[in-house]
A and B are shown apart, each in its own frame.
Chain A
Amino acid sequence: MAPRFITWLRLRDAALDTLPQMGSIIVSFMTVGAAARAAGLSLVEATAMTAFVFAAPAQLVMVGMVHGGAGPGVVGVAVLVINLRLSFMSLSVVSSLRKVPVRRLLIWCAMLSGLSFTRFQLTDRQADAADDIAQRELNLAVSCVLLYLAAVVSTVVGSTLAVVATPVWIEGLNVMVAMMLIGRIVEARHDRPFFVAAALCALLTPVAAALSPNFGSLLLALSLSGLVAATPLALVRRQGPRQVEKAVKP
């Protein structure tokens, strides 16, 4: 990302593109802040957790485990399993931005979240012009920084407000987060694997959670995702080389 490439107009456009995702991150991390406070964590602890972990699903599980008296080992395993997806996302970013210096990638990957990743377009480095890559890096950088800052501030607000929160208030907040998340799934309804996996996971989550309260839904998510990701490869092997292109291309 050459300095001449960065202009106020480009920064403003990248920031405006990130704004719709802000609502989602604000609500998610306000929920994290409120849940952390309800579980007995102080404002400083809740804020530090977001500043250093910055992964809402893992933090929500972590808060429950800390509240239940789980040790660092158990919490570590749970966080490792839940956040494994961050490694895959980071891998995709690194492989798509190989021309970008490591020092800059280090910062973007450290602040990477699922929302920033969904906006990031995977590229083949041989095929793209330098300006395209710079534009993608700029979009990713702005999205990562803004969402990170919003998450930290929202945790502080959520944690502070939790002092006056009632169970019904928390319930209202949960319904609002659920609405936004359902909206995201509905938006992606044309992407069949995404939609099918989401629907299957929603149906099977109560069963998985009943079988194993801490890891059930995580194992379900991992196995379903692996299954969906590997299905085209299995079809290719079964159909033989003739249908290879047909099966791989969408």
Chain B
Amino acid sequence: MTGGAAGCWLQIGTASVLTLGLRLLPLVSRNFLSDAASPTLDRFNKTFLACCISSLIIALLLPSGQPLVITKLALMVLFLALYLVIRKIYDGVLLAPALAIGYTATRFLLS
């Protein structure tokens, strides 16, 4: 961390206050809201969540600033495809961790 501990606390504090403000802001306008939930707002929320999720997937798999290694990428795609195929038969909570361990083991073997 280049910012130093004091700078880091300042950033955490700023982010905390702003996030809490965003979460609680609608409570202030509570009395001015209409009775029904807005379908447009609902659609926006859902779509924004979809966009955030897919952006996060790309950011996780292709971190910026790192060289694109084709074998690594191919292995990732292979394990993601395996996950999608296997979850049709078994969709338990252990599937993703088990495949991730398999991926890590394969990477260790290949490196």
Chain A residues engaging chain B, CB cutoff 8 angstroms:
20, 23, 27, 31, 39-42, 45, 48-49, 52-55, 57-58, 60, 62, 65-73, 75-76, 79-80, 83-96, 98, 102, 105-106, 109-110, 112, 114, 117-118, 122-126, 168-169, 171-186, 188, 191, 193-195, 197-199, 201-202, 205-206, 209, 213, 217-218, 220-222, 224-226, 228-230, 232-233, 248
Query: Which of A39, A41, A179, A222 has the most C-beta atoms of chain B within 10 angstroms of its own C-beta?
Result: A179
A183-B83, A185-B54, A191-B46 are contacts. A91–B35 as well, Cβ < 8 Å? no
Bound CA–CA A92/B23 (angstroms):
11
Check B12 against A87 for contact (C-beta < 8 Å).
no
Contacts of A224 in B (CB 8 A): 47, 51
Bound-state Cα–Cα, A87 to B19, Å: 9
A-B contact pairs, 8 of them (CB 8 A): A42-B5, A45-B5, A72-B10, A80-B22, A95-B34, A98-B35, A182-B80, A205-B59
> B52-81, CB under 8 A of A: which get 1 and which 0?
111111111110100000001000100110
Q: Are B25 and A229 in contact (CB under 8 A)?
A: no
B50 pairs with A86, CB closer than 8 A: no
Chain A residues near B50 (CB, 8 Å)? 185, 188, 193-195, 197-198, 201, 225
| Number of B residues with CB within 8 Å of any CB on chain A | 75
CA–CA, A3 to B18, complex, Å?
A: 33
18 additional A-B residue pairs with CB within 8 Å, beyond A31-B60, A40-B2, A98-B35: A68-B2, A83-B22, A87-B26, A90-B22, A92-B41, A94-B27, A94-B30, A94-B33, A95-B34, A114-B49, A122-B37, A124-B36, A181-B53, A185-B54, A202-B54, A202-B55, A209-B59, A209-B64
* C-alpha gap A95/B40 in the complex (Å): 14
Beyond A67-B2, A179-B80, A201-B54, whether A88 also contacts B12 by CB under 8 A is no
Interface of A, secondary structure class, is helix
Closest B residue to A118 by beta carbon equals B49
Which chain A residues lie closer than 8 Å to B12 at the CB level?
A: 45, 48-49, 52-53
A96 to B45, CA, bound (A): 14
Q: B23 near A90 (CB under 8 angstroms)?
A: yes
Q: Which residues of A contact B26 (CB under 8 A)?
A: 87, 90-91, 93-95, 109
Number of A-B contacts defined by CB within 8 Å = 285
Q: When chains A and B are docked, how far (Å) is the Cα of A168 from the Cα of B9?
A: 30
- CB contacts (< 8 Å) of B23 on chain A: these are 86-87, 90, 109-110, 112
A232 to B43: give the CA distance in the assembly, Å: 10
Ranked nearest first, the 6 interchain pairs of A and B with the lowest CB-CB distance are: A40-B1, A172-B104, A176-B100, A221-B51, A52-B16, A229-B44
CB pair A79 B18 closer than 8 Å: yes
Contact (A75, B51) CB under 8 Å given A117-B45, A177-B60, A209-B59: no
Given contacts A57-B56, A225-B48, contact A175 B37 (CB under 8 A): no
**A67-B2, A98-B33, A176-B99 known; A109 vs B24 contact (CB < 8 Å):** yes
The answer on a CB contact under 8 Å between A172 and B100 is yes
The reply to whether A88 and B84 contact each other, CB–CB distance below 8 Å, is no
Residue B93 at the chain A interface, CB threshold 8 Å? yes
- For A201, the chain B residues whose CB sits under 8 A away are 50-51, 54-55
Partner of A205 from the list B1, B55, B72 (CB cut-off 8 Å) is B55
* Residues of B76-105 contacting chain A, CB below 8 A: 76, 79-80, 83-84, 87, 93, 95-97, 99-101, 103-104
